[in-house]
């Protein structure tokens, strides 16, 4: 068969080339659509990439009685805001829950002392948060730095120093250089009086409190109290050193409802158990755990002064949604995480037993590394259940990964399908359900996988 002269195309080749040229834009678009998105650099610590489980920051409308400003105080070497200040209207109430760690930080000690005092939490006017220095295990020098920070802020806000709450996060064992904070108070006051949109204020605050976090964490909800619309917004930070013990994190929630401090304390205590106390990244508890709830009273809703007030029902549910949303985001931003995992234990002898069993599974390095490898190694789940010494009926034990049964009645499932199980384990969100056959109680704990990246992040945490 004769061929066209060199350098000349046949009619068929010309048609083929024309088709390729016509289809090229479509092929390029398809290639872009099917290619995995490149990793985005995190806005916090250099060298980190945004978690693949990240969720967008919500839109937050104005909440009466609160202004927020951020600044760079210089606790970090690189360029970023690391100082956040909230200013509250007169009469704002506050309650907090804190770490049970035996070596609490200076700001934790400060907040607990003043909120637990007679009439504590009845007129809180400010909140100062710094990232980059935990001011924990710093003795009298750290306590003095905390006091000076509150005192200087109180002068600006025209209140008592006891009415300024404090929170810190970062490296343990370094005394807070409070001069870096006071040097920025003038700029912060100007920013507080500015007209920045509330969503931008909250977003910048979420960014400003980050350490190894890879995205800012925020949540918002609305509800009714006696016919009045009430708003609730919050931010949190946490990525590593996360384990249920109040909450290994910082969390700040503001509502425009009018609620007395004892009621706020009761609400926090009620919901923290199933939200911030039910997440774990690595099983380690921090020195600085703090969750503060502020109520500015600016919504026009009637003041709630009794814990059993029925008008709190809708508010309580909305607060729980905000807290659980923030808690989930902590897990989604677990250091090096690629899987968001829900562990549910059913059939336990008591709620406390169910929580202990679920936590044992969620904290197990062997379970978490299997999840990272997308391996449904249910034998490791059996190990994590049995080592707790909680009541377990071995012959009734059942384990599921999502809808797929791995074990039933104390033995491997006769219908176990390795191909289906392997396909399920590739999902970004995994459900593990275990029935221990000892009762009727249940509990859920949220966790993430444990990857090589976790070791890398924590290997150079102070650098």
Query: Tell me: the pLDDT tens digits for 390-424?
Result: 999 999 999 999 999 999 999 999 999 999 999 99
Quote the pLDDT of residue 4.
40
Going by C-alpha positions, the residue among 90, 152, 143, 158 that lies closest to residue 113 is 143
Instruction: State the average pLDDT for the chain.
Output: 88
pLDDT over threshold 50, residue 19: no
Q: What are phi and psi of 173, to 5 degrees?
A: 90, 10
Predicted confidence at residue 166, as pLDDT, reads 98
Distance CA(317)–CA(303), nearest Å, equals 18
Q: Residues with Cβ < 8 Å from 8, sequence gap 6 or more?
A: none
Report the C-alpha gap between 338 and 386 in whole angstroms: 27
Query: What distance in Å separates the CA atoms of residue 277 and residue 216, rounded to the nearest whole number?
Result: 20
Residue 184 pLDDT: 98
Report the helix count and the strand count for the chain, using DSSP H and E: 13, 15
Model confidence over 196-221: pLDDT tens digits?
A: 999 999 999 999 999 889 999 999 99
The whole-number pLDDT of residue 34 equals 34
Q: What is the pLDDT of residue 457?
A: 76
At residue 455's C-alpha, the angle toward residues 454 and 460, to 5°, is: 105
Question: Which residue among 149, 248, 287, 433 is the active-site one?
Answer: 248
Q: pLDDT-based confidence at 38, cuts 50/70/90?
A: low
Residues recorded for the chain: 463
Q: Is the pLDDT of residue 150 over 90?
A: yes
Lowest mean pLDDT among 243-257, 304-318, 374-388, 410-424: 243-257
Of residues 322, 353, 352, 327, the one with CA closest to residue 342? 327
pTM greater than 0.75 (yes/no): yes
Least confident range of 36-50, 78-92, 165-179, 290-304: 36-50
Residue 11 pLDDT level (bands cut at 50, 70, 90): very low
Which residues on neighbouring strands pair with residue 291, listed in sequence order?
A: 97, 251
CA 118 to chain centre: 32
Q: Which pLDDT score, from 0 to 100, does residue 462 have?
A: 56
Band the pLDDT of 153: cuts 50, 70, 90.
very high
Phi, psi of 264 (to 5 degrees): -60, -40
- Measured over the CA atoms of residue 386, residue 389, residue 390 and residue 391, the dihedral's sign is positive
Residue with the two structure tokens 């989604």? 332
pLDDT of residue 100: 77
Query: Where does residue 83 fall: left (phi above 0), alpha (psi -120 to 50 degrees), or beta otherwise?
Result: beta
Tell me what the mean pLDDT of segment 349-355 comes to: 96
Model pLDDT for residues 328-339, shown as the tens digit of each residue? 999 999 888 999
Distance CA 438, CA 414 (A): 23
Compute the distance between CA of residue 457 and CA of residue 461 in angstroms, rounded to an integer: 6
Q: How would residue 287 be classed by pLDDT, with cut points 50, 70 and 90?
A: low
104-108, 193-197, 408-412, 454-458: segment of lowest average pLDDT: 454-458
**What is the pLDDT at residue 22?**
39
* pLDDT at position 248 over 50: no
Residue 244 pLDDT > 60: no
pLDDT at 258: 98
Tell whether the model's pLDDT for residue 9 goes beyond 50. no
pLDDT value of position 240: 56
The mean per-residue pLDDT over the stretch 366-370 comes to 95
59 is catalytic: no
Helix (H, G, I), strand (E, B) or coil at 91: coil
Provide the pLDDT for residue 7: 42
pLDDT at 459: 74
Cβ-Cβ contacts under 8 Å for 170 (sequence gap 6 or more): 75, 130, 131, 132, 133, 134, 211
Average pLDDT over residues 347-352: 97
pLDDT at 455: 83
């Amino acid at each position: 068969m004769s061929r066209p002269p060199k350098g000349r195309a046949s009619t068929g080749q010309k048609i083929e080339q024309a088709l390729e040229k016509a289809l090229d834009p479509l092929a390029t678009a398809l290639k872009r659509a099917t290619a995995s998105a490149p990793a985005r650099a995190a806005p916090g610590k250099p060298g980190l990439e945004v978690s693949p489980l990240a969720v967008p920051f919500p839109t937050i409308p104005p909440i009466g009685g609160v202004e927020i400003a951020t600044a760079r105080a210089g606790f970090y070497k690189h360029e970023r805001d690391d100082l956040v200040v909230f200013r509250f209207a007169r009469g704002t109430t506050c309650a907090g829950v804190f770490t049970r760690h035996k070596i609490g930080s200076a700001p934790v000690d400060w907040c607990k002392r003043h909120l637990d005092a007679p009439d504590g939490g009845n007129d809180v006017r400010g909140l100062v948060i710094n990232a980059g220095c935990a001011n924990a295990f710093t003795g009298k020098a750290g306590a003095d730095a905390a006091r000076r920070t509150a005192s200087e802020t109180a002068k600006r806000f025209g209140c008592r120093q006891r009415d300024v709450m404090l929170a810190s996060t970062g490296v343990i064992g370094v005394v807070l250089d409070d001069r870096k904070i006071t040097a920025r108070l003038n700029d912060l006051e100007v920013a507080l009086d500015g007209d920045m949109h509330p969503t931008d204020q909250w977003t910048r605050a979420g960014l400003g409190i980050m350490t190894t976090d890879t995205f800012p964490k925020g949540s918002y909800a609305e509800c009714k109290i006696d016919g009045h619309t009430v708003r609730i917004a919050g931010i949190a930070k946490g990525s590593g050193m996360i384990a249920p013990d109040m909450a290994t994190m910082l969390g700040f929630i503001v509502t425009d409802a009018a609620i007395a401090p004892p009621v706020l304390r009761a609400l926090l205590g009620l919901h923290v158990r199933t939200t911030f106390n039910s997440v774990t990244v690595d099983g380690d508890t921090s020195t600085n755990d703090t969750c503060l709830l502020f109520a500015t009273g600016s919504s026009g809703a009637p003041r709630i002064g009794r814990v059993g007030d029925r008008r709190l029902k809708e508010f309580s549910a909305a607060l729980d949604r905000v807290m659980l949303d923030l808690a989930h985001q902590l897990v989604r931003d677990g250091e090096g995480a690629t899987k968001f995992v829900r562990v549910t234990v059913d059939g336990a002898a008591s709620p406390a037993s169910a929580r202990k069993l679920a936590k044992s599974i969620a904290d197990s390095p062997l379970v978490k590394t299997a999840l990272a490898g997308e391996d449904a190694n249910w034998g490791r789940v059996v190990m994590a259940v049995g080592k707790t010494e909680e009541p377990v009926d071995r012959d009734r034990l059942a384990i599921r990964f999502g809808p797929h049964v791995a074990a039933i009645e104390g033995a491997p499932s006769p219908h176990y399908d390795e191909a289906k199980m392997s396909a399920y384990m590739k999902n970004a969100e995994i459900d593990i359900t275990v029935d221990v056959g000892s009762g009727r109680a249940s509990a859920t704990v949220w966790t993430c996988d444990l990857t090589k990246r976790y070791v890398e992040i924590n290997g150079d945490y102070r650098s």
